Amino acid sequence: MTVHRGDIVLLNFPFSSGTGAKVRPALVVQSDVNNRRLRNTIVAMVTSRADRAKAEATQLLITLATPTGHSSGLLHDSAVKCENLFTVEQTLIRRVIGRLPAETMAQVDRCLEVSVGLR
């Protein structure tokens, strides 16, 4: 399955300790050019623990009551955690549940810049 930048997907996201994984949503942040040419993609963790998203420059709050929230396919208000990135083989993605619009992806880009020290 080829995914696209901005897709919200379900996958087995590994624990940082390496002791296991949990099925959770993630946001595809890799470019579409690389999504087409590579077997892997880069994703950012999405969590329903969104209480710190307003204060963290590396996180973006997705609120279900907004048009972005509706298109995300998420079940709860959530945070995209751009400080928690993972490379995954695209065949391991279970399914696409939603998509973030270009305007929201521009906000994600700013969070990614802060996370990797480009800003």
Is the Cβ–Cβ distance between 8 and 71 less than 8 Å? no
* Mean pLDDT, residues 3-8: 98
What pLDDT, on the 0 to 100 scale, is given for residue 30? Answer: 98
- Is residue 87 included in any domain, yes or no? yes
Q: Domains in the chain: how many in total?
A: 1
The pLDDT of residue 14 is 75
Q: In what order do the strands lie in the sheet with 21-28?
A: 59-62, 78-89, 40-47, 21-28, 7-14, 95-99
Dist CA 79 CA 96 (whole Å): 17
Give the span between the Cα atoms of 22 and 65, in whole angstroms: 26
Determine phi and psi for 49, rounding to 5 degrees.
Answer: -85, 80
Domain-embedded: residue 85: yes
Q: Which domain holds residue 54?
A: 7-115
CATH number at residue 67: 2.30.30.110
Q: What is the pLDDT of residue 22?
A: 83
Please tell me the predicted confidence (pLDDT) of residue 99: 98
pTM over 0.85: yes
pLDDT value of position 12? 86
Average pLDDT value for residue range 8-22: 82
